[in-house]
Amino acid sequence: MSDINEKALQEEYGEEIRTTAFRHGRLLAGVGLLVLSYMFMHDFFVMNVGLLAAARLIGIIPAVVYLVLSFSFLPRRRHLAVPAHITLLSLIMISSGVFSWGLFRSHLEGAAYGAAGTMQASVLAVFVFGNGVRRHLWAIVIVPLALTLMAILICCAPSRVELTLFMTPFITAICVVAAGISQDRMGYERFRMGKQVQQHKDELEDKAEALQLANNELQQFASVVAHDLKVPLHSIQKALEKMDGGGALGVTPGAFHLR
């Protein structure tokens, strides 16, 4: 493709990315609101961790705001779909990070497992609902995860076993980021190849139409030529028939016959 076509292709792909980000952002906001609300009630009433449950609000409030904006504001401003999706995913990761840090700091029984499991689940959720922002997963996932781990190291003095346990979501995050980058590149190449195939298909259809038109014109031309030659050939036939049976020319009468 030429540079102009490549630029147009990138613009079309960007529009598709914005549409995908908006659709998955709305889905994430709905699912996240339900899950985080349930976790908030579970943490507050069942686990009885007090104010620690308020960390869930860091994800709940943005999810509500996103859902409200998705009905009228974001559809009219599609250029904000990707930043809004990134912000929502990042805040959900931060919400999980704050909760994990607080849970780790509480030194409750199984707190390390709960904190690591919370971050692990958040990383996987971000990957599942991250369509449209795959190339930005390193900032969405790694940065909040690194800040959470740093806060735990500074404030909680984890043991080696606990630190090793918390490395699990970190390793998962690295794999998720690598997979996201690969999927983003593959998505662009798939989109590009699809456009090229469609372009070649359109060109072949245009050539087929042009060939059919040329064939029709050729048939019309042949019909006109045949009609124009019919009268002179009939005249020649009659002239030959009038000649002494065609004997002078050695032509058998009726040898020329036009249908």
Q: What pTM was computed for the model?
A: 0.72
Taking alpha carbons only, the member of 194, 205, 201, 192 closest to residue 1 is 192
- Number of CB atoms found within 10 A of residue 157's CB: 10
- Residue-wise pLDDT tens digits, 98-152: 998 988 888 777 888 888 888 999 999 899 888 888 888 888 999 999 999 898 8
Quick one: residue 134, left, alpha or beta (phi over 0 = left, psi -120 to 50 = alpha)? alpha
Residue 27: exposed, middle, or buried by beta-carbon count in 10 A (0-12, 13-18, 19+)? middle
Residue among 90, 40, 80, 81 nearest 60 (CA): 40
Report which of residues 85 and 50 the model is more confident about: 85
Residue 130, exposed/middle/buried by CB under 10 A (0-12, 13-18, 19+)? buried
Angle at 179 between CA 161 and CA 147, to 5 degrees: 45
Please give the Cα distance from 21 to 30 (Å, whole number). 14
User: Region 201-225: what's the mean pLDDT?
Assistant: 85
Locate 245 and state its tokens: 């049976």
Half-sphere exposure of 36 (CA within 13 A, CB side): 27
Please, are residues 33 and 64 in contact by the beta-carbon 8 Å criterion?
Answer: yes
CA angle 110, 112, 115 (to 5 degrees): 110
Alpha helices in the chain (DSSP H): 3-41, 57-76, 81-106, 111-128, 137, 143-155, 160-242
pLDDT, tens digit (0-9, with 9 covering 90-100), for 14-73: 888 888 888 888 888 999 889 989 888 888 888 777 778 888 888 899 999 999 998 889
Q: Is 120 left (phi over 0), alpha (psi -120 to 50) or beta?
A: alpha
Structure tokens at 77: 């401003």
